[in-house]
Amino acid sequence: MHINDLQGIGLTDELAIAELIGLCSGALDKPVQKSTIVIGNMTVGGTIAKVEEFANVL
């Protein structure tokens, strides 16, 4: 995976879980359902971060 800082705000130490699902989907050649919503981040080491204020995100 190649990551670019297109907005010039600096690179993060976290990856979106949606990116991981997208990569796995492409590698397995299985599409993700159209109505799938993925919220959250994880570290490069695999630790999943808690979603703060979940109700406000939705």
Whether residue 44 contacts residue 15, with contact meaning beta carbons closer than 8 Å, is answered with yes
pLDDT of residue 45: 76
Please tell me whether the overall predicted TM-score, pTM, comes out greater than 0.85 for this model: no
Whether residue 30 contacts residue 38, with contact meaning beta carbons closer than 8 Å, is answered with no
Q: What is the pLDDT of residues 28-51, one digit of tens each?
A: 999 988 888 777 777 777 787 778
